[in-house]
Structure 1
Amino acid sequence: MNATFYILYSNDADKYYIGHTTEPIKERLRKHLSNHDGFTAKYKDWTIIYTEEYATKELAYQRERQVKAWKSRKKIARFFFYF
């Protein structure tokens, strides 16, 4: 089963959201933008800014946990967006 690690960004909130999914990434974004409870519910301007594909859900989840463990917005931005 293929899975995707992804990072979303909300300009209004000036925040990142880090996750993984086995759904098509566009469908997952649609769900983030729909009416639901959760971290992404408050803002409706989330955009996909980064993705990585993995062979399994477990590997994508490991990557999500790795990046979330950094707990540094600057480190995440530097690693993924400033080459």
Structure 2
Amino acid sequence: MKTLGTHNYYVYIMTNKIKTVLYTGVTNDLKSRLYWHQHPEAIDRSFTSKFKYFYLIYFEHFDDIETAIRREKQIKGWTREKKETLITEFNSDWKFLNEEIE
């Protein structure tokens, strides 16, 4: 069991190459999750493969899974416009952030 405060949870938003699809998720290992989004054939042959959302454009860090899940659900309930505002405030150029995650 990890000591309180040492947990890492991430709410993230992925997009496709032309930035028409937004996918919001939650994970405890962002680097690993990025790998699986980029290699969907290993786990999911439908949604990820169909829409090709391989590019990280937004993420938030949390120490508590319940808080992260609440935030994920909140963002998923937003309009596209509100999600775009959130992304732009965090990443004004909508730069793909995959290579910045260690």
Measured against the shorter chain, the TM-score band is 0.7 to 0.9
1:45 Cα deviation after fit: 5.4
Which residue of structure 1 aligns with residue 96 of structure 2?
Answer: none
More strand as a share of residues: 1
Return closer, same or farther for 1:43/1:33 CA change in 2, 3 Å cut-off. farther
1:20 partner letter: V
Quick one: higher RCO (CA 8 Å, sep 6+), 1 or 2? 1
Give a deviation string over 1:6-58, Cα, whole Å, max 9, x none.
000112572011001011x1210111121132522224451110110001121
Check the 8 A contact 2:23/2:53 in 1, yes or no. no
Identity of aligned residues (%): 33
The two structures have a TM-score, normalised by structure 2, of 0.68
Which residue of structure 1 aligns with residue 87 of structure 2?
Answer: 80
- Considering only aligned residues, what root-mean-square deviation do their CA atoms show, in Å? 2.0
Instruction: Please state if 1:18 is matched with 2:5.
Output: no
Q: Name structure 1 gaps, 5 residues minimum.
A: none
Instruction: Please state if 1:29 is matched with 2:37.
Output: no
1:80 partner letter: I
Task: Number of aligned residue pairs: give it.
Answer: 81
Q: Name structure 2 gaps, 5 residues minimum.
A: 1-6, 93-102
Work out which of the two has the higher radius of gyration on C-alpha atoms and give 1 or 2.
2
Check the 8 A contact 2:9/2:68 in 1, yes or no. yes
